[in-house]
Structure 1
């Protein structure tokens, strides 16, 4: 059995989710200690426990230590079982992170699956639904499997209450190469508001216009009617010939609308000026897909701690080599070989 120290690298929930995903795919059992030791509230929180329970169900696994605040976990998968699943975080914790835990296994399962997930759909420090649907899943489909996601109700911190469904038609993952993004064909800035004054969205979009020079017809307000609680998200979509990237920033009580928009706009500016196809957050998830496909490459920004933790976690479960080459101060080329 593999033993993994959860305090290494980024020290958060990512090493747990990636370990669960790879354990399911490879059938390799593992024991993890010091779970989320690098966080102010260490151990399993509700969203991490839901991810463990989801992996347990999908992999018909034998699990010990699956309880709130647990810092140790043993996970022994039996087999990946496709089917119809419903997973609810029970708080505003990220439901998209729960999906990313079990999706890799279901992509290569013996039959189709459907999932209904409830919890947070637009959370700070987690991939929002818009990123999942517009950036990540289109690349999954290019690699073979057919995966579609539908947002039924948005869920913001702290109320939660979001809900989305996912259909999965598995197929072998094919290597993918993304050396360039091609010409930018569409730009869209969206200020989403739920139970928040319209003026907040207006100020955010004006800030995006000043910061990035995006035209009025590239900026829009989306008022969300079905949200359980209030929420505000600035989402910047950059659609290019070969890839779509999504950059988001979340409104918070006491934070100026202009500052919220500045954060997303700055991230988009850095990405656009670097000329790379893959941004910082997509990098982590794409590396996992390429590792499972045993091949592929892409260009991206300098890797952060999350990406380095991914590479270190792969080594426990997969016989793949990930190389990172510096092409310029702001450009890295990542290559995965099986």
Structure 2
């Protein structure tokens, strides 16, 4: 049995998600102690419980310590079975993080699967649906896995109630190199809002246009039905020939629209100032599929502690080391396997 101290590295929920996914793929049981020890509320939260329940459902697995607040769990995998699955977080917990747990095992299963995931689709501290659809999944498809995702209903924190549907057709994952972005194809800024004044979105867009001098056609607002809110997210997108980067800013109580927009602008500026292929969040997501493909290489901005922790967990299960090497110009080359 593989033993993992959940307080190591960044000490968050990604350790649990990656460990369960890798356990299903490799057949190795795992025990995790000190779960999410470095978070303000340690232990499993509702979205982590749902993610592990989903892993148990698709892989005939069992898990001891599977309750909200638990800091110690033991996961024993079975055989992953393709099928139609529906999982509900029950709160605004992230549907994207549940998908992160089960996607790779189902891509390596013996048949096609369909997932319906209900909960939060646009949450702080997790990738919004647009990032999954436009940034991450296109790379997975380049590697050989066929995955299509649809956003049926938005779900903002704290209300939730969102729904995404995902179709997964297995394919042999192949190592790829993602070194350059290719030709710049366009940029955009979209301020989504529901159940909140339009002026919030207008102020966010104003900050973006001033910062980047993007045109009126490239910057727009979209009002969602009131019953999908209250909520607001600013999405900045930079599309290139080989990759699309999406950064986001989430509205929070007590945080001005200008500050939300400036945070997103700062993140996009950091990405555009570097010639690396992947932003920090995409870099986190690419490690697992590339390891399961047998290797791969990509360039990224400065690797996060999140990515380095994921690399350590992957090595424990798959035996594949990840090298982070700084290059001239500030980019880093990340080589798996």
For the 8 Å contact 2:274–2:329, the answer to whether it is kept is: no
Offset of residue 321 of structure 1: 2.1
Determine the structure 2 residue equivalent to 1:150.
150
Give the gaps of 5 or more residues in structure 1: none
Determine the structure 2 residue equivalent to 1:87.
87
Determine the structure 2 residue equivalent to 1:294.
294
Normalising by structure 1, we get a TM-score of: 0.98
2:104 matches 1:104? yes
- Which runs of at least 4 in structure 1 moved beyond 6 Å after TM superposition? none
Alignment of 1:103-182 (within 5 A): 103-182=103-182
Determine the structure 2 residue equivalent to 1:314.
314
Distance 1:37 1:199 in 2: 39
Distance 2:214 2:227 in 1: 28
Distance 1:72 1:226 in 2: 40
- Of 121-130 and 207-216, more deviation after overlay is shown by 207-216
Determine the structure 1 residue equivalent to 2:277.
277
Determine the structure 2 residue equivalent to 1:217.
217
Offset of residue 63 of structure 1: 1.5
For the 8 Å contact 1:208–1:265, the answer to whether it is kept is: yes
Distance 2:10 2:227 in 1: 32
Offset of residue 40 of structure 1: 1.6
Distance 1:190 1:277 in 2: 22
- Of 34-43 and 325-334, more deviation after overlay is shown by 325-334
Distance 1:321 1:157 in 2: 36
3-state secondary structure, aligned to 1:90 = coil
For the 8 Å contact 2:193–2:229, the answer to whether it is kept is: no
Normalising by structure 2, we get a TM-score of: 0.98
Distance 1:127 1:53 in 2: 20
CA-based RMSD = 1.0
Query: What per-residue deviation string (whole Å, max 9, x for no partner) do you get for residues 89-130 of structure 1?
Result: 111111110010000101111000000001110000001101
Distance 2:37 2:193 in 1: 35
Number of matched pairs? 337
- Of 37-46 and 125-134, more deviation after overlay is shown by 37-46
Offset of residue 183 of structure 1: 1.8
Query: What per-residue deviation string (whole Å, max 9, x for no partner) do you get for residues 293-321 of structure 1?
Result: 11111111111110110111012101212
Determine the structure 2 residue equivalent to 1:330.
330
Offset of residue 328 of structure 1: 3.0
